[in-house]
Structure 1
Amino acid sequence: MSGLEDLPPLRDTLAAHDLLAKKSFGQHFLLDLNITRKIARLAEVGPGDRVIEVGPGPGGLTRALLETGAVVTAVEMDPRFEPLLNELAAAADGRLSLVIADALTVDETILAQGGPAAIVSNLPYNVGTPLLIKWLTGAFTPTSMTLMFQKEVAERIVAPPGSDAYGRLAVIAQACAEVRLVMDAPARAFTPPPKVDSAVVRLKPRADRPAPALLTALQTVTQAAFGQRRKMLRSSLKVLGGEALCVVAGLAPDVRAETIGVEGFLALASALIARRGD
C-alpha cells in the first residue's frame, strides 16, 4: 500500500494538472479522505473484491476504495482526468483499471469480467437517477450499490408510501433492492460546493427481484400512476385498463398512487401483463 500512501494530497494533484470541475458534467469533487474512507467502509468491500466506480474525477473515492484492497474499475467520461487517474493506477499495484466512456452505455458485465462486482460511486448529479434505474433493472445485477446522490433524490429512493417524496423512483428501487440512507454529506464537503446537500444510499439487490417482464410492466404502471399523482388510479391508469386493472390487482380504484405500497404496484404490473396476454 506504500504507493498509495506516497501520493500527494488531492488538491495538490488537481492544481498540478490545472483541473477544475465542469458544471456541464455535474461534477462536484469529494477531496476529504475522511469522508471517502467512510463511504468505502459503508460499501463493505475488502481485499480482492471487484468494484465498479462511476465518475471518479480526481480519484478521492477511488483512493479510499483501493486502500481497502479492492480491485477497482473506474468509468470516467471526462478525458481530462485520464493522466491523473493513470498516476493513481501506477501506485495501486495493478488494482485500478480506467475506462474512458459514458457509464450510461457501458456493459457492466464486461467491466466486472463476468464475475460479481459492487458499484460504489459519488454519482454525477445529472445522471444519477438514470444510472440507478439502469443498475436496478438491467441485465447486470451488482452485489450491492453504495451511491452518493443529491439528498432530495436519496430521500425519494427510500421514501415510504404516503410521504411527499414517495413516487416512481421509490417503487422501482424498493421492488428491486433493500434500500437504506446511510450517510449525509453537507454541501461544504465538496469542491466546488453544490447548492444542495447530498446523501449516501446503500442498496442490496433482492433475491426475489422481479423478472424482466414484470419490471418492464412496473415501469409502465408507475409512469402512468405517478404522472398524474393527484388523480385516482381509475383515472391515472385509464389508458392501461383503469378500474378493471385495479380490480384484477385487488386494489380500490378510487385511491391515489402515493398511498399504494410496492406490493400493490407489483400486483398492478402483473395484472397489466395478464391483460395484454388476453
Structure 2
Amino acid sequence: MGKAKTSKRGGANSTPYERPAKSAAANNVFKFSKDFGQHILKNPGIAESIVAKAYLKPTDTVLEVGPGTGNLTVKILEQAKKVIAVEMDPRMAAETTKRVQGKPEQKRLEVLLGDVIKTTLPPFDVCISNTPYQISSPLVFKLLSLPNPPRTCVLMFQREFALRLTARPGDPLYCRLSVNAQFWARITHILKVGRNNFRPPPQVDSSVVRIEPKLGSERPNISFEEWDGMLRVCFNRRNKTLRASWLGNKEVLSMLERNYRLWCATNDIPVDDTVADEEEDDNEEMEVDENVPPSAGDEEEWGGIMDVDGVDDDTPSFFKEAMKTEVPKTKSKRKKTRVALLVREKVRKVLEDVTELADKRSGKCDENDFLRLLAAFNAEGIHFS
C-alpha cells in the first residue's frame, strides 16, 4: 500500500479540518501603531504593583496618560474616585470605554481624546501612566510645571530614561535631565519591567519611577527658563570644564552679550558700543581645555562616548610632521566692542573668582554648584531667559 500524501511543513492546509496556524496579527483586534508608541501592558501583576505604589486614596482623581486597552485603567478605578484618561488613538479610547460600559465604573471614567502635551488638563491628584517613550521628557516637565502639580506621579519609562532621571553627579548617565527633574521633584526608582510584559514587546526594558513634586515652601522660587537656559550651556559639552564650555565657545559668548544688552536696555543702563583697541582684543584669547581630547564631551543628552585603547597608529610619518606645523589663525573681520569684552570678563569673574568652578566639569557638579553659578551670573546682570 502506498504512503498517504503529507503536506509540506509551512504549506497550505490539506484538509478543511486542520487547525489554522496561529499568528500575532490574527489574534489582534487591530494593529498597534508605532507612531503612538503603543505597547500594551499585559501582565496584571505589574499593573497591580504600579497602582499599589501610588498609594491612592478613595477621594483621589487620577490622570492616566495613554490608557491603551484599559488594563491599567480598571485597576485604578478599583481604588480611586475618578480616572481622567488622555488618549491619542480613537480606537484605544473606544476600547477603554468598552471595558467599563454598563458598569458602575462607567460614571467615574472620563476619556479625553488628544495629545496630553497640548491638552489643558483638569485638576487631578495623582498621575499614573505607561508612558509612550517619545513623550517621556515633555510629560515629566509638563507635570512639574503645572501651577498645582499632582501629589505624586507613578510613571513607566524606557529604562535608560528612568536611570537618567535618578542619576547622581559623577554617574555616566548624569545629564541636564537629571539636574532639572531632581531640582523640582523627589524621584525614586520603583521596579524594573522586562520587555516580555508588553504586547507587542518593545526592543528595550522599562522601569517604573515615582516622582513627587516639591510643593509649598520646598518648591524652588526660580524661573525654570532661567535655570534650564544656564544648564543647556553647562551640559552642551558635559565632559569639558566649565571654563571651556563658557569662555571657549564664541556662540555662547555672543548669546550672553545679546542677553546682557537686553538686560541693560530694560534697566536703562548705558553700554559702551565703541570698538575695542587691538591690544585689548588680542589679549582676549579663546579658552581651551587641554586636558580633554577634541572628541570628549561631544555626546548628546541621549548619546555616549566610546573610548578605544591600544589601536595601532598607521598614520604616515610625513603626515604627522605636517600636522605639527602650526597654521596661523585667521582673525575675525568683526571688531569686538567694549561691551563684548566686558561680558567676557564678567563670565571669567563668575567662574574663577566668585564660584571657583572654572576647572570643574558639569558631570561632577551638584545642585548647589549650579545654584551658586546662576546667582553669580544674575548678580553680574547676565540672564538666560
Is the shorter-chain TM-score for this pair beyond 0.5, marking a shared fold?
Answer: yes
1:49 aligns with 2:55: no
Deviations 1:131-174 (A, max 9, x none): 11222234341111111000000000000100001011110111
Matched residue SS, 1:246:
helix
Q: Secondary structure at the match of 2:94?
A: helix
Q: Which runs of 5+ in 1 are unaligned?
A: 1-13
Matched residue SS, 2:381 = helix
- Residue 96 to residue 275, structure 1, CA distance change in 2 (3 Å): farther
Find the aligned partners of 2:225 and 2:245 in 1 and give their Cα distance.
18
Aligned residue pairs total: 259
Q: Partner residue of 1:262?
A: 367
> Paired residue for 1:209?
219
Contact 2:69 2:93 in 1 (8 A): no
Give runs of aligned pairs for residues 214-253 of structure 1, distance below 5 A.
215-238=224-247, 239=252, 240=256, 242-247=347-352, 250-253=355-358
The structure with more radius of gyration:
2
Matches within 5 A, 1:90-239: 90=101, 91=103, 92-108=105-121, 111-112=122-123, 116-207=124-215, 208-213=218-223, 215-238=224-247, 239=252
- Relative to its length, the structure with more strand (as a share) is 1
- What is the TM-score when the length of structure 1 is the normalising length? 0.86
Mark the CA change 1:234 to 1:192 in structure 2 (over 3 Å): closer, same or farther: same
* Structure 1 residues 189 and 257, CA gap change in structure 2 (3 angstroms): same
The CA distance in 1 between the partners of 2:76 and 2:46, in whole Å, is 12
Aligned equivalents of 1:224 and 1:105: distance in 2?
27
Structure 1 window deviating more from structure 2 (134-143 vs 170-179): it is: 134-143
TM-score by length of 2: 0.63
The amino acid that maps onto 1:42 is K
Change (3 A) 1:86 1:224: same
Identity level (%) = 34
- Residue 84 to residue 167, structure 1, CA distance change in 2 (3 Å): same
Task: Describe the SS at the equivalent of 2:380.
Answer: helix
SS of the equivalent of 1:149 reads strand
2:45 pairs, out of 5, 27, 34, with 34
Query: Is the alpha carbon distance of 1:17 and 1:248 closer, same or farther for their aligned partners in structure 2, counting shifts above 3 Å?
Result: farther
Is the alpha carbon distance of 1:61 and 1:212 closer, same or farther for their aligned partners in structure 2, counting shifts above 3 Å? farther
Contact 2:242–2:359 under 8 Å retained in 1: yes
CA contact (8 A) 2:47 2:75 kept: yes
**Deviation string, structure 1 residues 228-252 (Cα, Å, up to 9, x no partner):** 1121112213435643333576242
Of 86, 93, 106, the match for 1:75: 86
Q: How big is the shift at 1:44? A: 1.0
